[in-house]
Structure 1
Amino acid sequence: MNTASSIPYAGIWPALLTPLDAKLDIDIPRFASHALRLLDAGCTGVTPFGTTGEGPSFSVAERMDALTGLVARGVPAGRILASTSCAALPDALALTRHAAEQGAWGCLLLPPFFLKGVSDQGVIDAYRWIIDGVADARLRIVLYHIPQVSGVGLSHHVIGTLKTLYPDTIVGLKDSGCRREDSLAYAEAFMPPMQVWVGNEPDLQTLAARGSAGAVSGIANVMPRLVQHLVKGSGEPAADQQRVLALLQILGGYGLTAAFKGMMALLDDAPGWMRVRPPLVPLDAAEYERLAAQLRAFGIDRGRD
């Protein structure tokens, strides 16, 4: 990953929404434009194909083509943290190797998530299979903990063992378990030298006070500057916290990815942003109108947020 050393490991990495065309294929030009706009707004990098980006709904070939397309359209490879998570180890290996070959800054990686109730040793073995298979000293991995979605969590034993085995490869943990006490326990155990990022935006200020210097954030798709303020302690901390809580309360009335895409449709005046790939379902017309009215009252301002 020859360009990665110039990119600091701090800052905001939006968990990119994935725009789709009328056939529900990835709209790569819009994808790249969205990523570049976020970089222009001050984000350190972007994270395609995570949970917010519907990553597991796309094939290995689609994800490789889209990553290549981002780079070809001007998104610097060294500012991409590619989610390479797949249920099948060969697929995760192929995506991780491809990201490394493209020069991506790093990879965000879940444990294999189809089989449940697996042992810590099984999770460790899965990560080792991928890391050893890529066999590239430049590889960086941010471990991804979101057990309420994946059904497979990351214990302290798993994280500590992997960090011991691969001290230069395992650089961080994205904790999207949404339990503040767990996030703080991860920070106490592993930070530094690792970074612990939280996916739950209301916890950003708490983790920042503990030393967390970044975030992979879904809200950063639409409010990147607000998320930066929460992490950096700039802006108006109390007001910023209330603003993110109020937004999450609005979004809680809908499917989260569909609601984020509804926000993008409103902000860009681009109905195509509404599309999601099954099994997700887009907002219907009534839901969109209700969400749009709520967001107008809330006061979304792309230039400010």
Structure 2
Amino acid sequence: MLTGSLVALVTPMDVNGEIDFPTLRKLVDWHIEQGTNGIVAVGTTGESPTVDVEEHIAIVRAVVEQAAGRVPVIAGTGANSTREAIHLSNRALEVGANYGLSVVPYYNKPTQNGLYQHFKSIAENTALPTLLYNVPGRTACDLSNDTALELAKLPNIVGIKDATGNLERAADLAKRAPSDFALYSGDDASTLPFILIGGHGTISVTANVAPQAMSQMCAAAAAGQISTARAINDKLQDLHRHLFIEANPIPVKWALEAMGKIPAGIRLPLTRLSEPAQAIVRKALQAADLINP
């Protein structure tokens, strides 16, 4: 089972909004050097809503090529159209992704039975192992634990990213899920307790700027080294909070720009981080010792 810190990787872009593939490849190398355990390409943080299908697959291909088997690559493959989600899953498989991350269908608000049938159809029509992704704050639709656990019985549904931040729900999943069903936090602020109550890792925004610290924190938590994990997490708390001061990935892309890791590009309708928010994110980066005061 894939465990630890999996980065929800940004998609670098130039100031005109064109994808910067050389910088993307450099980010992949940096993450592997820093101890990131897996890379999620073209999730929400990778601006999946703003890239077209061919760009989407090109990004996944570039990440797979650069990772070169050193860490697993998880491709964002979700859509609010079941057919499109299947198509993305199969294309991601063709270019070498190890897993797909499929978000709960957004906007059309299906029933729990609709969600079950959606993910069941994906599982039956692709060989790519699929991780469910529940983020009701963005999708306006919540995958219940009961539905997720029914889906866990399907051989090609192998885990879930739970971005609810609800530890009561996480504890219920940890108690009832099959032992081989991976549980990942999708909420950086609650990742430490999530792992302590039985989670296997995180799919993290904070890991974009603090990959080594997030990897070390997850490893310490999994090993029961609570004081070590807390000490690391304490330095990251401001990042966990302020990287969401505006809609993700606006703050984290600015943070990486401030660190000299990526250029300033982002695509509409997303815009560059506002100046008042920049000061707040800068202080969070300084508190984590990622940039100089």
Q: 1:296 to 1:194 in 2, by over 3 A?
A: closer
Show the counterpart of 1:143.
Answer: 132
Q: 1:230 to 1:125 in 2, by over 3 A?
A: same
Deviates more, 1:12-21 or 1:27-36: 27-36
In 1, distance between residues paired with 2:98 and 2:275?
39
In 1, distance between residues paired with 2:191 and 2:48?
24
Show the counterpart of 1:228.
Answer: 215
Show the counterpart of 1:51.
Answer: 44
Show the counterpart of 2:265.
Answer: 275
Q: Structure 2 residue aligned with 1:246, among 230, 238, 243?
A: 238
The alignment of Structure 1 onto Structure 2 pairs a total of residues equal to: 286
SS of the aligned residue for 1:87 comes to coil
Gaps of 5+ in 2: none
SS of the aligned residue for 1:26 comes to coil
Q: 1:126 to 1:32 in 2, by over 3 A?
A: same
Deviations 1:202-233 (A, max 9, x none): 32222222332321101001111221232222
In 1, distance between residues paired with 2:237 and 2:139?
25
Residue 72 of structure 1, CA deviation: 3.7
Residue 83 of structure 1, CA deviation: 1.0
Residue 243 of structure 1, CA deviation: 1.6
Show the counterpart of 1:10.
Answer: 3
Gaps of 5+ in 1: 1-7
Q: Could you tell me whether the CA contact under 8 Å between 1:204 and 1:230 is conserved in 2?
A: no
Q: Could you tell me whether the CA contact under 8 Å between 1:78 and 1:105 is conserved in 2?
A: no
* TM-score normalised by the chain length of structure 1: 0.85
Q: Structure 1 residue aligned with 2:61, among 42, 65, 68?
A: 68
Show the counterpart of 2:190.
Answer: 203
1:257 aligns with 2:249: yes
In 1, distance between residues paired with 2:249 and 2:86?
26
Q: Could you tell me whether the CA contact under 8 Å between 1:176 and 1:200 is conserved in 2?
A: yes
Q: 1:191 to 1:207 in 2, by over 3 A?
A: farther
Residue 286 of structure 1, CA deviation: 5.8
Q: Structure 2 residue aligned with 1:132, among 124, 129, 139?
A: 124
Residue 49 of structure 1, CA deviation: 1.3
* TM-score normalised by the chain length of structure 2: 0.88
Show the counterpart of 1:32.
Answer: 25
Q: Could you tell me whether the CA contact under 8 Å between 1:36 and 1:75 is conserved in 2?
A: no
Q: Structure 2 residue aligned with 1:183, among 167, 170, 179?
A: 170
SS of the aligned residue for 1:268 comes to coil
In 1, distance between residues paired with 2:29 and 2:275?
29
Residue 99 of structure 1, CA deviation: 1.5
In 1, distance between residues paired with 2:150 and 2:277?
46
SS of the aligned residue for 1:115 comes to coil
* CA RMSD, Structure 1 to Structure 2 (Å): 2.3
Show the counterpart of 1:172.
Answer: 159
Deviations 1:91-113 (A, max 9, x none): 21111001212221101111322
Q: Structure 2 residue aligned with 1:194, among 177, 181, 185?
A: 181
Residue 75 of structure 1, CA deviation: 4.2
Q: 1:246 to 1:292 in 2, by over 3 A?
A: closer
Q: Structure 1 residue aligned with 2:105, among 84, 105, 112?
A: 112
Identity of aligned residues (%): 22
